[in-house]
Structure 1
Amino acid sequence: MIHRLEPLVVRHTHRLPTPTGPTGPMGKGDVAARQFDAALMSVGFKLSADLLAHLSALSENTVVDIAVRTLGTVREMVGDHVRHNVYFIDFPANVPDTFDFWMGCIADALADDTSRDRTKAQLDSGVVDLLTLPSYGNYRHTYAEVLAAHDELIAAAGDRMTVLWRGGDLADEITALYLALAGSPTPLGDAELDDLRMLAEHCVRGPQPGAIPVRETRAVVNQARLKVGADLLLDTVTDVLRLACALSGGDVTLQAPTRFRALSRPVRRALIAGLDTVAAAAPAKLADVAAHREAWKRLGERLHPHEYPDRPHAAEVFAVARGERTARSFDSRVEELLDAGDVTAAAELLKSAPGRLFRALDRLLRTASTRAERDAVVAAAEQVAPLVSGRVVLSVREHLHNRAAEAGKSRVFVNRHGRAWVTPDTRPTVRAPERTRLVTALDAEIRRRLPAPGHLVVDPQVLDVALPLSGRATAPGLGVLPRGSRCPVDGELLRFFVYWKQTSRSTDYDLSALTLDADYATLSWLSYTNLTDVEGEHSGDITDARDGASEFINLRLGAVRGTFVVPQVNIYSGEGFEETEESFFGFMLRDAEQRGRPFEPRTVRMKSELRGPGRVALPLAFHRGRDGRWRARWLHLYLKGHPSANRVEENRVSVATLVRGIVEHDPLTVRYLADLMAEGGTRVTSWDGGTVPDGPVTYIGLERPEGLPPGSRIITPGNLRDLIPD
Structure 2
Amino acid sequence: MKNVIYLRRSRKVVVQPGRHVLPDKYMATALKNIEYLGFTFSRPLMEALRTLSVEEFTAIYHQLVADLKSLLGANVNFKPMYPNFPEQVMLVSQAELYLNAIYHYITLELPEHETIERLPLLDQVDLKIIDLGSQEDFDQTIRNLIAANGSISEQDKEDIEWVIAACDDLGAVLPDEIPLKENVGFVVGALLKYNKASLGLVGQYVKTATDVLRLAVALSDGDVSLAANTKFRKFKRAERRLLLGLLDRCGNIVEDMLRYKHRWIRLGEISHPAEYKNRYAHCQEAFDILRNNKPYETFNGKVELALRRKDTLLAAALLKTRAGELARRLDHLLRLSGDALQVMDRFAEVADQVSTPVLLQVMAHFSHRQEMRELRTFFPKGNVAKAMAIPNTLPGIHPDACAAVVDICERTLIRRFSELPPLGTVYIDESLKQYLMPFSQRSASKALRTIVRGSRVKMPEGDTIRFFLWWKEGMVNGKHTGRVDIDLSAVMYNKNWKYVEHISYTNLRSDKYKAAHSGDITSAPQGACEFIDLHIPSIVRYGGRFIVASLNSFTEQPYCDLPECYAGWMMRQAPKTGEVFEPSTVADKIDLTADTQIAIPVILDLVERTVIWTDLALKQHPYYYNNVEGNQKGMVLMGKAMTTLTKPTLYDLFTLHATARGRKVEHADEADTVFAVDRGVTPYDISTIMSEFVV
Give the Cα separation in 2 of the matches to 1:105 and 1:78.
Answer: 30
**Match of 2:4, SS?**
helix
Shift of 1:317: 3.1
Which residue number in structure 2 is paired with residue 13 of structure 1? 10
Q: Which has the higher contact order (CA 8 A, sep 6+)?
A: 2
Equivalence map 1:567-582=2 (5 Å)? 567-582=549-564
The one-letter code matched in structure 2 to 1:540 is G
Aligned to 1:438: 405
Percent of aligned pairs with the same amino acid: 27
Gaps of 5+ in 1: 110-129, 705-711
Q: Show structure 1 runs of 4+ deviating over 6 A.
A: 712-715
Give the Cα separation in 2 of the matches to 1:483 and 1:502.
Answer: 29
Q: Give the aligned length.
A: 666
Distance in structure 1 (CA, Å) of the matches to 2:443 and 2:371: 23
| Residue 510 (structure 1) aligns with | 487
Kindly report which structure 2 residues correspond to 1:231-630, keeping only aligned pairs within 5 A, or say none: 231=199, 232=202, 233-278=205-250, 282-283=251-252, 285-309=253-277, 310-368=279-337, 370=338, 372=339, 374-406=340-372, 409-415=374-380, 416=382, 417-450=384-417, 451=420, 452-472=422-442, 474-489=444-459, 490-503=461-474, 504=480, 505-533=482-510, 534-560=513-539, 561=542, 562-592=544-574, 595-625=577-607, 629-630=608-609
TM-score by length of structure 2 reads 0.90
Q: Distance in 1 between matches of 2:387 and 2:681?
A: 36
Q: Does the CA contact (< 8 Å) of 2:435 and 2:683 recur in 1?
A: no
**Letter of the structure 2 residue corresponding to residue 411 of structure 1:** R
Whether the aligned pair in 1 keeps the contact of 2:40 and 2:130 (CA below 8 Å) is: yes
Q: CA offsets, 1:362-418, max 9 Å, x none? A: 1111222x1x2x2122112212111111111111122223322126x2222322322
Mapped to 2, the partners of 1:411 and 1:645 lie a distance apart of 28
Tell me the distance in 2 between the aligned counterparts of 1:585 and 1:8. 21
The amino acid across from 1:60 in the alignment is V
**Kept after mapping to 1: 8 A contact 2:449/2:684:** no
Measured in 2, the distance between the counterparts of 1:529 and 1:597 equals 25
Q: How does 1:19-418 map to 2 (within 5 A)?
A: 19-20=15-16, 22-24=18-20, 26-28=21-23, 30-95=24-89, 99-105=94-100, 131=105, 133-134=106-107, 138-140=109-111, 149-156=117-124, 159-169=125-135, 172-203=136-167, 205-207=170-172, 208-226=174-192, 227-231=195-199, 232=202, 233-278=205-250, 282-283=251-252, 285-309=253-277, 310-368=279-337, 370=338, 372=339, 374-406=340-372, 409-415=374-380, 416=382, 417-418=384-385
Counterpart for residue 477 of structure 2 = none
Structure 1 vs Structure 2 CA RMSD: 2.4
SS of the equivalent of 1:477 reads: coil
Is residue 372–residue 392 contact of structure 2 (8 Å, CA) maintained in 1?
no
Does the 8 Å contact 2:557/2:597 carry over to 1? no
CA deviation after TM superposition for structure 1 residue 463, in Å: 3.7
Q: Secondary structure at the match of 2:612?
A: strand
Tell me the TM-score normalized by structure 1.
Answer: 0.87
CA change 1:492–1:676 in 2 (3 A) is same
AA partner of residue 176 (structure 1):
Q
Cα gap change, 1:686 to 1:196, in 2 (>3 Å):
farther
SS of the residue aligned with 1:619? strand
Q: 1:679 to 1:249 in 2, by over 3 A?
A: closer
- Displacement of 1:77 after TM fit? 1.4
Structure 2 gaps of 5+ residues are: 475-479
8 Å Cα contact 2:548-2:604 kept in structure 1: yes
- For 1:99 and 1:606, the matched residues in 2 are separated by 32
Q: CA deviation at 1:52?
A: 0.9
Taking a change above 3 Å as real, the CA distance of residues 593 and 105 of structure 1, as seen in their structure-2 partners, is: closer
Deviation at 1:215, TM superposition (A): 0.7
Maintained 8 Å contact 1:497/1:585: yes
Greater shift after overlay, 248-257 or 488-497? 488-497
Alpha-carbon distance in 2 for matches of 1:188, 1:455: 31
Whole-angstrom CA distance in 1 between matches of 2:683 and 2:423: 11
What is the deviation of 1:195? 2.0
After superposition, the Cα gap between the structure-2 partners of 1:622 and 1:723, relative to the gap in structure 1 and judged at 3 Å, is farther
Q: Distance in 2 between matches of 1:101 and 1:328?
A: 73
1:138–1:543 contact (8 Å) kept in structure 2? no
Deviations 1:156-178 (A, max 9, x none): 1xx24221111113xx3442222
Change (3 A) 1:330 1:424: same
Q: Report the 3-state secondary structure (helix = DSSP H, G, I; strand = E; otherwise coil) of the residue aligned with 1:531.
A: coil
Residues 201 and 320 from structure 1, CA distance in 2 versus in 1: closer, same or farther, beyond 3 angstroms?
farther
Distance in 2, Cα, partners of 1:687 & 1:579: 49
